[in-house]
Amino acid sequence: MTNAGLEGVVVADTQISDVDGERGKLVIAGADVEQLAVATSFEGAVRQVLAAGGAAGAGPAGPITPAAIGAARAAAWELVPRLGDALDHPDGMDALRTALGHVRVPAGGPTDPAAAITAIGAAPVFVAAWSRRRAGQPPVAPDPALGHAADYLRMTLGRAAGDGAVRALDAYLVTVIDHAMCASTFTARVIASTASDLISAIVGAVGALKGPLHGGAPGPVLDMLDAIGAPAHAETWLTGELAAGRRIMGMGHRVYRVRDPRAAVLETAVRPLLSPRLELARAVEAAAAKILRDNKPDRPLAANVEFYTAVLLDAVGLPREQFAPTFAVSRIAGWSAHVIEQHRTGRLIRPASRYTGAMP
């Protein structure tokens, strides 16, 4: 029997994160996501996931610090003039994977976090430069003294962002930093399992994250909210989508059989920003859940992380084309942790296929 989606197949022991799809629980580096999102900055979460993956010297006094990540942003800025037409890609994920291919990481052992820090620092610089090029504006240099979330917003918007927006974006970056064996992480681990390098693994993972069944959904969620416009139109619009054979973006999940816990974390994080879209999003979620329950009574389909990602990233001022690349700006830390763990503990991942073609 072929298991084309590999559901339930365990391909790694990991200490980085755990998803309990039945109870709707997500644990990252030993902490509940709800707690991590309010207790630490992105840089703190980076240290924790890299430590969980087995990075050398990743204790609180080790090399994974906000200053080191800031220095990595500054180093990536030097590359921006040399990215050629990488930043001209109309799609931000294509731009990011091409730009990341220009990054040279320090040679180190398989558990040295230096390469990961270099890549984590590069991503927001490249994404912000791409976003500004798209808007016909010059890129903005990083400020290594700022926090990662604050600097990413500043490099994108061209001005210092408000505290509320920075806090919300920081909570988002922490919340999506890792999510067990999702498709992009599996991709990164497959590449790492051949004893390949970190940047190759990350570039492959960006490609996997790009698809709308994985990280490409939040832009379309915002398109959906715009198309619906007002709570009263939700039911008719959503029913029309299902009748046309289309999926409701931001709903459903391969692993969760209840609401994705990250949806609640992001819904809480965006509340102080008083986004006019929040009330509409809640109404659309409720209508979508009801319609999907009626249509697919055997398949629990609830909101996933992308639903409120769309509302939050919009509220902090990012354009919707930048949503999927912003997911990558965070998840690059989780991928790096998994690459380190794979190098430490894994073996070549090489499954089998069933031949159904002609025989000689």
Q: Which of 148, 179, 253, 338 is catalytic?
A: 253
Closer residue to ligand COA (CB): 151 or 285 = 285
Q: How far is the CB of 124 from ligand COA (least distance, A)?
A: 22
Identify the helix (H) or strand (E) that includes residue 17.
Answer: strand 17-20
Q: How far is the CB of 305 from ligand COA (least distance, A)?
A: 5
Identify whether the C-beta of residue 209 lies closer than 8 Å to the C-beta of residue 181: no
Dihedral in degrees, nearest 10, Cα atoms 30, 33, 35, 40:
80
Instruction: List the Cα angle 183/227/326 in 5-degree steps.
Output: 35
Q: Which of 43, 267, 285, 306 is catalytic?
A: 306
Distance, CA of 240 to CA of 264 (rounded, Å):
27
233 in contact with ligand COA (CB under 6 A): no
Residue of 251, 280, 318, 329 interacting with ligand COA (CB under 6 A): 251
Our measurement of the distance from residue 26's CA atom to the centroid of its chain's CA atoms, rounded to an integer in Å, reads 15
Q: How far is the CB of 141 from ligand COA (least distance, A)?
A: 33
Residue of 233, 247, 282, 320 interacting with ligand COA (CB under 6 A): 247
Is the alpha carbon torsion for 339, 47, 305, 317 positive or negative?
negative
Q: Where are the beta strands (DSSP E) in 29-123?
A: 31-32
Q: How many residues bind ligand COA (CB under 6 A)?
A: 18
Catalytic (active site) residue 34: no
Rounded to a whole number, what is the distance in angstroms from the first to the last CA of the chain? 23
Give the interface segment with ligand COA, choosing from 66-74, 85-93, 151-159, 296-304 (CB under 6 A): 296-304
Strands 31-32 and 25-28: antiparallel
Our measurement of the distance from residue 308's CA atom to the centroid of its chain's CA atoms, rounded to an integer in Å, reads 13
Catalytic (active site) residue 253: yes
Identify whether the C-beta of residue 133 lies closer than 8 Å to the C-beta of residue 147: no
Give the interface segment with ligand COA, choosing from 150-158, 200-208, 300-308, 348-356 (CB under 6 A): 300-308
Residue of 83, 95, 190, 249 interacting with ligand COA (CB under 6 A): 249
Residue of 306, 312, 331, 340 interacting with ligand COA (CB under 6 A): 306
Question: For residues 130-159, which are near ligand COA according to CB under 6 A?
Answer: none
Give the residue numbers marked as catalytic. 253, 306
Binding site for ligand COA (CB under 6 A): 212-213, 217, 247-254, 292, 296, 299, 301, 304-306
